[in-house]
Amino acid sequence: MPSSSSTATCEVNFDGLVGPTHNYAGLSYGNIASISHRGAASNPRRAALQGLAKMKALADLGLPQAVLPPHERPALSVLRAFGFFGKTDADVLAAAAKHAPALLSATCSASAMWVANAATVTPSSDSADGRVHFTPANLASKLHRSFETSQTARTLRSIFANPEHFFHHEPVPGPHLFGDEGAANHTRFAPSAAHRGLHVYAYGHQALAHPAGQPLLRFPSRQALEASEAVARAHGLRADQAAFIQQSAAAINTGVFHNDVIAVGNDDVLLYHENAYKNTPKVVAALRAAYSNLHHGHTLNTVRVPARRLSLADAVRSYLFNSQLVTLAPGKMALIAPAECAEIPSVRAYVDHLISDGKNPIAEAHFIDLRESMSNGGGPACLRLRVTLTAAERIALPAGIWINDDTYPRLVAWVKKHYREKLSPSDLCDPNLITESRNALAELSIMLGLGNIYPFQLN
Ligand code: SUG
């Protein structure tokens, strides 16, 4: 597998660095971990270190690994937009804490760490104009997440700045019914990173369908078909390169709020739960046909996980499908799984079966402790945005964003300097958090070589 400096086209994982206000506010109805940890005390320092350790583990496997910075939280500009004025930022925070505590907690969420929801990305091999295309996700279905879009757009434009290589779209417009949750509902299949890809978009509902045609759901669907279609269209995909598949109501109702909670793909492999989609057998047959049509002589290696081996509820509890599937060498893949998968005996047994089964290229499993993020419903795959890049495109990026033996210890030291070890939802009204976060982010943006990407002045 190529490293960040090699000449081959490869997938780069950009991981979201956990922000200093990581907390458990129970903001995501339909995400069982988020709701069940509501009000618990978090450890932002541990969360950020766990995330960094995952990045380093992947870099040590020889995979190109980069980082995306956190957003400013509390989001003072949002509180001001909601009518909280004051002489100082601390006044704004105090007024929001007094009159709108729920809004305050939404503006304090460090949810931007889950960058699988930051954007949808199309590599230059697949787009109509030969550039890498980015559409920041509108995240319209959750208030706290919708505040991420503008900063995400600024950050991506700053990192992927060269217009010769990169093109940035506006987010898909519309109210929450037109929700777009980015790469978490998008998978690209190809014989290797350099080949043209088949782009598969999973959606929960059709925003413009008659209400009588909507799936009956206990939990909200977050991705609209129309939003996925808009992204594919804007990125210039050919009709034979895009497929749209619908999540099953049973999966959404069990807590599958994104496709990456119930399926994972990499190169020519799709690992999926048999109840993931509305009529899964038909969906998988269609994907296999579309793949062979695009790549004559090649087949998509589809690995079905039956409900009798793993129930939907255990899939959600273990987050097995939120593993990252990465290519270590041609024909050799590794599963980067949450530590919980090793602790639940039935899931561990299934992973052992998967890696010993000669029918798929998954040869290794690495179990990673991401408990702080997992308690908010964010596993390994949620924390990363995949961007397939040529060598020339990688060279066009700021040097400071890569995780390596030099940057990793500096980032660890930065976290230890700035992050608290305990944060409860009641601490979110502490005005010291504003300065602590800003000081941390100001130092970070200099370290990463990004200049001022934030809405506040760097000192
Ligand atoms: O959007 N959790 C996130 C988790 C996102 C996981 N991402 C992917 N599956 N790709 C969400 O539900 C919880 C925040 C809180 O409750 O404090 C939260 O936003």
Q: Which domain holds residue 262?
A: 10-73+109-448
For the chain, report the end-to-end CA distance as a whole number of angstroms. 41
What is the pLDDT averaged over residues 293-322?
97
Determine, yes or no, domain membership for 154: yes
pLDDT digits (tens, 9 = 90+) for 181-216: 999 999 999 999 999 999 999 999 999 998 887 888
Residue 379 CB–ligand 1 contact under 6 Å = no
Percent of the chain with pLDDT over 90: 93
Catalytic residues: 181, 258, 382
85-to-96, 101, 144, 151, 197 alpha-carbon distances in Å: 9, 15, 20, 22, 49
Q: What are the E-state strand segments in 282-322?
A: 301-305
Ligand 1 atom closest to Cα of 116?
10
Ligand 1 atom closest to Cα of 30?
12
For residue 236, is it left (φ>0), alpha (ψ between -120 and 50) or beta? left
pLDDT at position 310 is 96
* pLDDT class of 458 with cuts at 50, 70, 90: low
Ligand 1 atom closest to Cα of 258?
9
Enter the pTM of the model. Answer: 0.97
Residue 116 CB–ligand 1 contact under 6 Å = yes
Q: How far apart are CA 53 and CA 74, in angstroms?
A: 26
Confidence check: pLDDT of 452 > 90: no
All residues at 6 or more sequence positions from 281 whose CB lies less than 8 Å from its CB, including other chains:
none
* pLDDT class of 322 with cuts at 50, 70, 90: very high
Residue 43 CB–ligand 1 contact under 6 Å = no
* pLDDT class of 373 with cuts at 50, 70, 90: very high
Environment class of 378 (CB within 10 Å of its CB; exposed 0-12, middle 13-18, buried 19+): buried
Pocket of ligand 1, candidates 139, 141, 258: which has the most ligand atoms within 8 Å of its Cβ, to mutate?
A: 258
Coil, helix or strand for 229?
Answer: helix
Question: Nearest C-alpha to atom 5 of ligand 1 is from which residue?
Answer: 378
Ligand 1 atom closest to Cα of 28?
12
Q: How far apart are CA 207 and CA 217, in angstroms?
A: 14
Determine, yes or no, domain membership for 84: no
Q: Give the distance (Å) from ligand 1 centre to CA of residue 34.
A: 7
Token digits for 421?
Answer: 């070890």
pLDDT digits (tens, 9 = 90+) for 331-366: 999 999 999 999 999 999 999 999 999 999 999 999
Q: Beginning with the edge strand found earlier in the chain, give each strand of the sheet holding 384-389 in spatial order.
A: 65-68, 10-16, 384-389
Confidence check: pLDDT of 1 > 60: no
Q: Give the distance (Å) from ligand 1 centre to CA of residue 285.
A: 31
pLDDT at position 2 is 57
Confidence check: pLDDT of 6 > 90: no
Pocket of ligand 1, candidates 18, 23, 28, 145: which has the most ligand atoms within 8 Å of its Cβ, to mutate?
A: 28
Confidence check: pLDDT of 162 > 90: yes
Q: Give the distance (Å) from ligand 1 centre to CA of residue 371.
A: 13
Confidence check: pLDDT of 4 > 80: no
pLDDT at position 175 is 85
Write out the H or E segment, with its range, that includes residue 201: strand 198-203
Mean pLDDT, the chain, whole residue set: 96
Q: Give the distance (Å) from ligand 1 centre to CA of residue 455.
A: 24
pLDDT digits (tens, 9 = 90+) for 409-447: 999 999 999 999 999 988 999 999 999 999 999 999 999
Q: Give the distance (Å) from ligand 1 centre to CA of residue 144.
A: 10
What is the pLDDT averaged over residues 47-65?
98
154-to-182, 394, 455 alpha-carbon distances in Å: 16, 19, 10
What is the pLDDT averaged over residues 96-118?
97
Residue 152 CB–ligand 1 contact under 6 Å = no
* Whether residue 74 has a cis bond before it, omega within 30° of 0: yes
Ligand 1 atom closest to Cα of 111?
19
pLDDT at position 147 is 98
Residue in 83, 37, 17, 103 with CA at minimum distance from that of residue 429: 103
All residues at 6 or more sequence positions from 126 whose CB lies less than 8 Å from its CB, including other chains:
188, 196, 197, 199, 235, 237, 241
Ligand 1 atom closest to Cα of 382?
10
Ligand 1 atom closest to Cα of 184?
10
pLDDT digits (tens, 9 = 90+) for 164-178: 999 999 999 978 899
DSSP string, 379-432: -TTTTEEEEEE-HHHHHTS-GGGB-STTHHHHHHHHHHHH--S-B-GGGGG-TH
Determine, yes or no, domain membership for 312: yes
DSSP string, 25-73: ----TT-HHHHHTTT--B-HHHHHHHHHHHHHHHHHTT--EEEEPPPPS
Cα Rg for the chain, rounded, in angstroms?
A: 21
CATH number at residue 141: 3.75.10.20
Q: How far apart are CA 287 and CA 290, in angstroms?
A: 5
For 319, phi then psi, to 5°, come to 60, 35
Residue 47 CB–ligand 1 contact under 6 Å = no
Confidence check: pLDDT of 459 > 70: no
pLDDT digits (tens, 9 = 90+) for 248-283: 999 999 999 999 999 999 999 999 999 999 999 999
Q: 16-52: buried (b, 16+ CB within 10 Å) or exposed (e) per residue?
A: bbbbbbbbbbbbbebbbbbbebeeeebbbbbbbbbbb
What is the pLDDT averaged over residues 371-385?
98
Write out the H or E segment, with its range, that includes residue 233: helix 225-234
Pocket of ligand 1, candidates 22, 23, 24, 34: which has the most ligand atoms within 8 Å of its Cβ, to mutate?
A: 34
Residue 382 CB–ligand 1 contact under 6 Å = yes
How do the residues of the chain divide into helix, strand and coil, expressed in percent and rounded to 5? 40, 20, 40
Determine, yes or no, domain membership for 87: no
Question: Nearest C-alpha to atom 6 of ligand 1 is from which residue?
Answer: 378
Domain count, the chain: 1
Pocket of ligand 1, candidates 111, 138, 181: which has the most ligand atoms within 8 Å of its Cβ, to mutate?
A: 111
Q: How far apart are CA 115 and CA 381, in angstroms?
A: 9
Q: How far apart are CA 18 and CA 411, in angstroms?
A: 12
Residue 376 CB–ligand 1 contact under 6 Å = yes
Residue 185 CB–ligand 1 contact under 6 Å = no
Determine, yes or no, domain membership for 170: yes
Determine, yes or no, domain membership for 103: no
Determine, yes or no, domain membership for 80: no
Q: Give the distance (Å) from ligand 1 centre to CA of residue 403.
A: 24
Question: Nearest C-alpha to atom 3 of ligand 1 is from which residue?
Answer: 377
